């Protein structure tokens, strides 16, 4: 089942459950119970997010990144409470095809962009980016990684197809932007198919380059591959060229509720940029990664 369809069913199912609960208890004359239950159903995810922020705080340990202050964690949680439903209940399930890949006739000679999403996401997460790239006439391709819960190794051909389309349309190596697990998919492709001539620059946003503490609870294959010091991550690092870091900008943050401790989203020798007070999904909409993309598009 496509991820978009699964998230459509989940979103509509929760909405139907909340409405049914409210109508039932209203009919029983229990208005307070009707309202409270509906709110728990609709906003329960915010409690899960809060638990993630508690865990990231506890797991920080001796990580060299600055420890987030309580006010920063609260602000990041609030930002993610707003970002999560927008992405997972609207953009991805219902609007993932809103913006097609953009390869206009005048693409030749221009610098293009490949966008790679992360775990349990699809190309819909990039809609705000795609809208701006379309408006600017920038050639761009946004992938859909499948299978959703398969091995990261299975995404190599998908990224290869996207890069080839940009290469053929523009005659130039693209800038590749990847969020979360997408950065590992990018590195896996890079180790097998990429070289210094095929990637102008790569930008990762909240990518667990060295795994994430939270992945110890993962059941899917790609989730287990993202565990800290996993065999898959060690094997990938052994296959990679040391030159990769020169072409890589890594955005990471001390309020990332999915990839933590924070420095696990950095890579030795890369241009590692700290984003303060912003959570995992909300990172995509921060101005800094977009500005970094614009810088490399002009280079």
Q: How far is CA 164 from CA 49, 133, 169, in A?
A: 38, 19, 8
Secondary structure of residue 201 in the 3-state scheme: strand
Question: What is the model's pLDDT at position 1?
Answer: 52
Instruction: Kindly report the length of the chain.
Output: 299
- Which of 31, 177, 18 lies closest to 85, judged by CA? 18
* H or E stretch at 86: helix 70-86
**Going by C-beta distance under 8 Å and a sequence separation of 6 or more, which residues neighbour residue 6?**
148
Say what the pTM is. Answer: 0.96
Query: pLDDT by residue for the chain (299 residues), tens digit each?
Result: 589 999 999 999 999 999 999 999 999 999 999 999 999 999 999 999 999 999 999 999 999 999 999 999 999 999 999 999 999 999 999 999 999 999 999 999 999 999 999 999 999 999 999 999 999 999 999 999 999 999 999 999 999 999 999 999 999 999 999 999 999 999 999 999 877 789 999 999 999 999 999 999 999 999 999 999 999 999 999 999 888 889 999 999 999 999 999 999 999 999 999 999 999 999 999 999 999 999 999 98
**At a CB cut-off of 8 Å and minimum separation 6, what does 226 contact?**
119, 181, 184, 208, 211, 212, 215, 218, 233
Dihedral-angle region of residue 277 (phi above 0 means left; psi in -120 to 50 means alpha; beta otherwise): left
Report d(CA 260, CA 266) in Å as an integer. Answer: 11
- Can you tell me the distance from the alpha carbon of 120 to that of 237, in angstroms, rounded to the nearest whole number? 24
């Amino acid at each position: 089942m496509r991820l978009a369809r699964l998230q459509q069913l989940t979103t509509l199912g929760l909405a139907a459950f909340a409405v049914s609960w409210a109508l039932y208890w209203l009919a029983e004359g229990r208005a307070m119970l009707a309202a409270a239950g509906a709110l728990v159903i609709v906003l329960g995810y915010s409690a899960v997010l809060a638990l993630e922020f508690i865990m990231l705080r506890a797991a920080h340990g001796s990580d060299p990144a600055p420890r987030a202050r309580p006010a920063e964690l609260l602000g990041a949680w609030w930002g993610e409470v707003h970002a999560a439903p927008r992405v997972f209940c609207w953009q991805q399930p219902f609007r993932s095809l809103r913006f097609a890949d953009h390869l206009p006739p005048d693409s030749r000679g221009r610098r293009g962009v490949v966008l790679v999403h992360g775990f349990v996401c699809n190309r819909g997460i990039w809609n705000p980016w795609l809208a701006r790239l379309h408006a600017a006439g920038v050639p761009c391709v946004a992938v859909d990684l499948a299978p959703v819960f398969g091995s990261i190794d299975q995404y190599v051909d998908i990224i290869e197809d996207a890069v080839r389309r940009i290469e053929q349309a523009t005659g130039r190596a693209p800038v590749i932007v990847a969020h979360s697990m997408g950065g590992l998919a990018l590195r896996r492709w890079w180790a097998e198919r990429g070289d210094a001539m095929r990637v102008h620059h790569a930008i990762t946003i909240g990518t667990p380059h060295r795994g994430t503490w939270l992945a110890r609870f993962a059941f899917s294959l790609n989730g287990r591959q993202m565990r800290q010091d996993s065999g898959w991550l060690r094997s990938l690092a052994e296959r990679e060229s040391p030159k990769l870091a020169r072409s890589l900008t890594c955005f990471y943050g001390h309020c990332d509720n999915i990839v933590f401790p924070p420095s696990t989203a950095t890579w030795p020798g890369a241009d590692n940029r700290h984003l303060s007070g912003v959570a995992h999904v909300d990172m995509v909409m921060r101005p800094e990664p977009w500005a970094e993309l614009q810088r490399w598009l002009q280079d």
